[in-house]
Amino acid sequence: MTIKERGYAHWDGELQDGRFPWWPITRIGIRLTFKRKFFKFFFGFTLIPALVWLVGIYVSERLEDFKFMMEGETDFLNVNPLYFKTYFTNDFLLFMVVMILVFCGAGLIADDLRHNALQLYFARPLKKRDYLTGKAAVIFFFLFIVTLIPGIVFILFKLIFAGNFQFFASYPWLILSVIAYSVLITTFFAFYTLLLSSIGKNRRYVSILIFGVYIFSDIFSAIFKEIFRSHYFYLLSIKSNLQQVGAVLFDQRTPWNIPWYYSLTVIIAICLFSAYILKQRVRGVEIIK
């Protein structure tokens, strides 16, 4: 059948102003991430810490049954804010978060830059804000699954296993801490990932950056700290700053001998810097002056 025989047909619907114009971007971003090789397996693996902590909560309510494991330890599996803080700020979880970012975040903007897709987005009634929100929401989705959701599930299961509201009455603010820390860590990593994704056109290169900046900021801060004997060098480390603020949010002693708000300032500064660069880098047309 020739083109003329086929003919073009008009669409009789009405184009709408969606309330969330960024949602299709998020949905497709999540779908494309799940289609990546080994991602489902890897993502399942990142949920192991949450599972272990959940088992810990169950065991804490059945201590009589597990007495043989305690060997006189009185603080064994005491579910309190420290227990939550340990989950949220442990090195393994943060490392896994970074690995998730490598899978789901590296190509978010880099792929669009590489394949000139930004002009396709911005030839639509989309604002820069919608585009970035849609991309950031992909990161929020995956990171909330390993931070916010386990945190809330821990609290719920603690209440269910205990069969009373004693835990909630003792720490009524804990759920706010879980939400606040999850939002903080996710927002920070969303900015961090989008920034790095926007400065390269190659997904692999961006993946190395996401991983490398996180790891090397930690290594260098430790080296400088040892050389100069000052805890202030922990401010150079992404991980240390998040752990520092996390400790405060869960009402625990900070791990380093520096004011926590310095770490918060570093985190906010990185977010603001990222927002500025993203504003410059993400545009419908590349202008070469």
Partner 1 sequence: MSVEIQQIHFSYGKIKALNGIDIRLPQGAIGLLGPNGAGKSTLLRILLGFLVPDSGEGSVLGYDIRSQQAMIRRYVGYMPEDDCFIPGMDAVSFTSYMGELSGMPRQEAMKRSHEVLYYVGLEESRYRMLETYSAGMRQRLKLAQSIVHDPKLIFLDEPTSGLDPQGRKEILELIMDISSKKDIQVLISSHILPDIEQTCSYVVILNKGEMAAEGQISELKQVQYSLYELKIKGEEQAFLDRLASMDSQVEQTEDKLLKVYLSPGTDPQDIFKIAVEEKVQIRHFVKSQTSLEDLFAKVVGVD
Member of 6, 37, 229, 253 binding partner 1 (CB under 8 A): 6
DSSP label at 77?
T
DSSP annotation string for 100-140: HHHHHTTHHHHHHHHTT-HHHHHTSS--HHHHHHHHHHHHH
8 touches partner 1 (CB under 8 A)? yes
280 touches partner 1 (CB under 8 A)? no
Distance between CA atoms of residues 273 and 271, nearest Å: 5
3-state DSSP assignment of residue 28: helix
Member of 58, 80, 111, 162 binding partner 1 (CB under 8 A): 111
Q: Rounded to the nearest whole angstrom, what is the least distance from the CB of residue 288 to partner 1 in the complex? A: 7
User: Among 196, 188, 246, 238, which residue's Cα sits nearest to residue 214?
Assistant: 238
67 vs 129, which CB is nearer to partner 1? 129
DSSP label at 152?
H
Q: Rounded to the nearest whole angstrom, what is the least distance from the CB of residue 8 to partner 1 in the complex? A: 5
115 touches partner 1 (CB under 8 A)? yes
229 touches partner 1 (CB under 8 A)? no
Length of the chain: 289
Tokens of 34: 């799940």
Segment interacting with partner 1, rule: CB under 8 A, options 41-49, 57-65, 113-121, 231-239? 113-121
DSSP label at 234?
G
State which of positions 34-63 bind partner 1 (CB under 8 A).
Answer: 35
Member of 58, 121, 157, 260 binding partner 1 (CB under 8 A): 121
Q: What is the largest CA-CA distance in the chain?
A: 86
Positions touching partner 1 (CB under 8 A) are 3-4, 6-11, 13, 15-18, 21, 24-25, 28, 32, 35, 107, 111-112, 115-117, 119-127, 283-285, 287-289
